[in-house]
Structure 1
Amino acid sequence: MSELREKMKMDMELKGYSPNTIKRYIGHVSNFSKYYDKAPELLKEKDIREYLHYCIMEKKLSEGSVNYINSGLKFFYTITLNRYWNMDKIFRIKEPKKLPSVLSPEEVKSIFDVTDNLKHRTILMTVYSAGLRVSEVCNLKITDIDSKNMQILIREGKGKKDRYSLLSKSNLEILREYWRIYHPTEYLFSGNGRTDSITPRSVQKMLKKSIKKTNITKHVTVHTLRHYVESFIMVSLRLNPCVTSNYF
């Protein structure tokens, strides 16, 4: 599959897919080929259906994982091999919609209170205050902080689109304190002894470490912290137009 692998890789690069998506899609096609011990171009619609069924019933993969495999195979057959994809026969599995965990103002405050490391607290507060995705806070550069206009530039966010987010006064204060101590050079947040950007996994680990120090039993992710500010502000403004947050 080496030539086809390179062709599929080029097809995805031409479409602007992320390196992570390219790696995962190629991996799914490779696993599909290994399952039948045949070159993927020799496999048919029936084989695809049976493999997806195997992933659901035997491997017990989640709906999202199965649909991701479906997408990888669909790209390979429709774009790389230029074949017809019968959506009436190779359909996506319906994914359940679950309500996200919601944190109270006290719970959000407790997370910051137990985060003793200044860099970690600054990262988490920036996610919370500016409503950033984990990849977005990792890729922030010093030049993205616009204190004059009180805004943060997010480069190539979701959909590879640039956008601005608000920079709160308290967020700016802790960013300045952080800069005075750490003196970052290019990326705002880097790993210890490094100059490249911190990894999303590192941010997730620091949040998990802080959660363990609190009494919070809910399932909390960086995504939860990011979306909390939106719902809290909307509810707070309806209840009390003068309400403010200790951290925003």
Structure 2
Amino acid sequence: MNKDEALNKFTFMMEYRNLSSNTVHMYRWYLSRMFDFYQLEDVSILDVSMAQNYVVHMKQTYAPASLNAVISAIRYFFDVVLEAPLSRRQFPNILYDPVEITVFTDEQIHLLLDTKDVRLRAFLLLGLDAGLRVGEVARLKVSDIDSKNMLLYIRNSKRGKSRKVPLSNTLLKALREYWIVYKPDKNEYLFPAVQSNSKTPYINQSYINILFKEYIKNFSFYVPTMRFHNLRDTYATLMLKNGCNIFTLKKLLGHSSFSSTSRYIKYDISDLAQAPVLSSLMEIE
């Protein structure tokens, strides 16, 4: 089985399982890089030792969390294409200390949202006020905004899961202000690709990450570890602090397991003494 045949079968099996388009794209890329690393003409000769050695090599350039995504892709490839499943004992994930959660304060939130860039403000509120992942922001369609029922639809997200989240008046207003300026097609993505030669019809999530990183560097509270996902961290932590139960939060965040959601309850209340309440977001005009 050559590289193209293997990748085509891998793609078919992922799409058959209804994995998100982003997962399909990334998993293909991870496997393609491994094939190129070994310069394989016949990928069926791959075995567990080759997979392990490749992961050891990739430790030089990949952070543990990203490396675990590579491991998941390889494990899935062995299962559905080579039909030689790898157990977690044979091919375990990399252990690491999770990235510290950053929760923005009330003052920091107001400073971040004090921008005349209507698109950037929409990005920020989708993270802060709806808890969306950066990829979910990028792939949001105009039709996913249900202003009648005040809901946002997040479709085919991580692991192919879909969900609904509440749409606040503040967020709806920000999206309408963005709409007036950018006028996206009603039948297409809310944030279309920036470049005409883009591989996707929607904005690249890396573009949003870079935009956020450059923006937040302007503030005195900036630290190098800050990232767009911290907006989602803030949303989740404050939702719990303000009475949302963990079962509801799990659904709102689109988590597959409670272990992912429970990381937000590992903080003492004293750590959040200066954190904003969600109602503060509603007061922003």
TM-score range, shorter chain: 0.7 to 0.9
When residues 167 and 127 of structure 1 are mapped into structure 2, their CA distance, relative to the original with a 3 A threshold, is same
Gaps of 5+ in 1: none
Residue 231 in 1 paired to residue 274 in 2?
A: no
Which letter does structure 1 place at the counterpart of 2:203? I
When residues 47 and 205 of structure 1 are mapped into structure 2, their CA distance, relative to the original with a 3 A threshold, is closer
When residues 116 and 51 of structure 1 are mapped into structure 2, their CA distance, relative to the original with a 3 A threshold, is same
Specify the alignment match of 1:166 in structure 2: 166
Return the alpha-carbon distance in structure 1 between the equivalents of residues 79 and 193 of structure 2: 41
Return the alpha-carbon distance in structure 1 between the equivalents of residues 234 and 99 of structure 2: 16
Q: Which runs of 4+ in 1 moved over 6 A?
A: none
Q: Which has the larger radius of gyration?
A: 1
* CA-CA distance at 1:103 after TM superposition: 1.3
Specify the alignment match of 2:148 in structure 1: 148
When residues 246 and 80 of structure 1 are mapped into structure 2, their CA distance, relative to the original with a 3 A threshold, is closer
When residues 216 and 43 of structure 1 are mapped into structure 2, their CA distance, relative to the original with a 3 A threshold, is same
For residues 70-85 of structure 1, what are the structure 2 equivalents within 5 Å?
Answer: 70-83=71-84, 85=86
Return the alpha-carbon distance in structure 1 between the equivalents of residues 46 and 146 of structure 2: 54
* CA-CA distance at 1:233 after TM superposition: 4.1
Find 1:220's aligned residue among 226, 250, 255: 226
- Whether the 8 Å contact between 2:102 and 2:234 is mirrored in structure 1 is no
Residue 22 in 1 paired to residue 27 in 2?
A: yes
Which letter does structure 1 place at the counterpart of 2:64? E
* CA-CA distance at 1:30 after TM superposition: 0.3
When residues 86 and 141 of structure 1 are mapped into structure 2, their CA distance, relative to the original with a 3 A threshold, is closer
- Whether the 8 Å contact between 2:238 and 2:278 is mirrored in structure 1 is no
When residues 198 and 107 of structure 1 are mapped into structure 2, their CA distance, relative to the original with a 3 A threshold, is same
What whole-Å deviation, never above 9, does each CA across 1:135-178 have from its counterpart, x for those lacking one?
22222222222222222222223332332211111222222233
- Whether the 8 Å contact between 1:150 and 1:166 is mirrored in structure 2 is yes
Return the alpha-carbon distance in structure 1 between the equivalents of residues 12 and 89 of structure 2: 28
Return the alpha-carbon distance in structure 2 between the equivalents of residues 182 and 95 of structure 1: 42
When residues 222 and 80 of structure 1 are mapped into structure 2, their CA distance, relative to the original with a 3 A threshold, is same
Return the alpha-carbon distance in structure 1 between the equivalents of residues 231 and 204 of structure 2: 17
SS in 2 for 1:245: helix
Specify the alignment match of 1:200 in structure 2: 205
* CA-CA distance at 1:85 after TM superposition: 3.1
For residues 102-181 of structure 1, what are the structure 2 equivalents within 5 Å?
Answer: 102-113=103-114, 115-181=115-181
For residues 45-124 of structure 1, what are the structure 2 equivalents within 5 Å?
Answer: 45-56=48-59, 59=60, 61-83=62-84, 85=86, 87-113=88-114, 115-124=115-124
SS in 1 for 2:279: coil
Gaps of 5+ in 2: 244-268
- Whether the 8 Å contact between 2:193 and 2:201 is mirrored in structure 1 is yes
* CA-CA distance at 1:225 after TM superposition: 0.6
Return the alpha-carbon distance in structure 2 between the equivalents of residues 45 and 141 of structure 1: 41
When residues 84 and 211 of structure 1 are mapped into structure 2, their CA distance, relative to the original with a 3 A threshold, is closer
SS in 2 for 1:95: coil
Residue 245 in 1 paired to residue 248 in 2?
A: no
* CA-CA distance at 1:191 after TM superposition: 4.6
When residues 141 and 92 of structure 1 are mapped into structure 2, their CA distance, relative to the original with a 3 A threshold, is closer
**What's the TM-score once normalised by structure 1's chain length?**
0.79
